[in-house]
Amino acid sequence: MSNISRRSFMAASSATLLSVLLAGCDSDTQEPAEQGGDATQAGGKHIYVLTASPDHGWTGQVGVFAQEKVDEVNESGTYTAELQTAGAAADQIAQVEDILAGDLSDVAGIVIQPLDDTVQSAIQQIVDAGVAYVAFDRIIEAVQDSAVANVKGDNEGIGAGSAAYFVENGMKPGDAVYIYQGDTSSVTTLRDSGFTEYLLGNLEFDGAKVPDDAKWTQDQIDAAITKSGAMNWSRSDTKAAFEALLGDEANAQIKWWYAEDDELAMGILEALNGGGISDSAKEAFYATKPFITGCGGLQEYYDVISGDSYADITANLGGVMSVTYSPSMIQTAIQDMVDHLDGKDVEQDHVIACENVTSENVADYVGFE
């Protein structure tokens, strides 16, 4: 071999060896990150469940049902779980940040009930960290595609169920309707749209669409349906708003009252039971034999539907009804996380069907306190 050839060979061999060594260094620096990513996504055993503070009503019962399921997970021994609650979105965001700042190799996943849409930033941090998460109840559209599952009741079905109940009881296209809205979230948007989409003939409820002779036009929707704005899921706010509304006795002629939560429906009933509405306005209101719907499964409202309370008021009404939206759905969300971690297929858009609860079938349902 000539000196030139030998030098060329040695140079090529050295370059090859250097490349191998450099590749090995790259491999060494990347390996822990890859292992850490695998551990975060599949190797951890601890499940965090983040919900609203269990103060009262529906959200309070979410916490009760969540704790029951957390205890069940811990007893099974495959995973550990803990419930953390927050009274404000900022607190919930801080909870997420604290979890992600810890040892991610121990984190199996996070089940979160976002308190409002500002929690989107925290959910994006969960995604960026490679941690599996399940969203419950309030689904934030911008990040929903990154969830293992988005578990929610059929919010459109709630609107459709209320509309179907009204139609069954004689509501005609163009009749005045008043909607008491929950808040400004996707939940309210869907409950609004379900109501109108059913009346337009675009959405089914219980396997059927609105009859052709009861179908509304968009112009009738726009002219006849009034929305309250956000009641913040508050009974007291709805009570005050209803009293103010009936201060103008022309509003007492409205027959169809769609409350987007049982607490809001109870606010109407408490207003009718109190002294904040004039007797003449109440007489005008009762003369129409009005109908009131709610949703959620509040036992107090189920007692009204069954005739065990507020009977003197409901005797003057055409009917009261609720649509199911059980807080026990949080247990489905936690189970979806467990199933995902076990390698099972999980439905990403996990919508739980709802049913109308009337005086005819209320005895078949157990509400929450």
Round to whole Å and give the CA distance between 113 and 119.
Answer: 9
Distance, CA of 325 to CA of 136 (rounded, Å): 13
Q: What is the pTM of this model?
A: 0.77
Helix axes 89-101, 120-128, angle to 10 degrees: 10
pLDDT value of position 54? 82
**DSSP assignment of 144-166:** GGGSSEEEEE-HHHHHHHHHHHH
Return the residue matching tokens 């179908």: 215
Q: What is the pLDDT of residue 26?
A: 40
Neighbours of 2 (CB within 10 A): 7
| pLDDT given for residue 204 in this prediction | 97
The pLDDT of residue 43: 58
Consecutive 10-residue averages of pLDDT for the chain (369 residues): 36 38 37 33 82 84 95 98 97 98 96 95 97 95 96 96 98 98 92 98 97 98 98 96 97 98 98 97 98 96 98 98 95 98 97 96 93
Q: Which secondary-structure segment (H or E) carries 187?
A: helix 186-199
DSSP state at residue 368: B
Domains and CATH numbers, the chain: 42-152+329-351 (3.40.50.2300), 155-327+357-364 (3.40.50.2300)
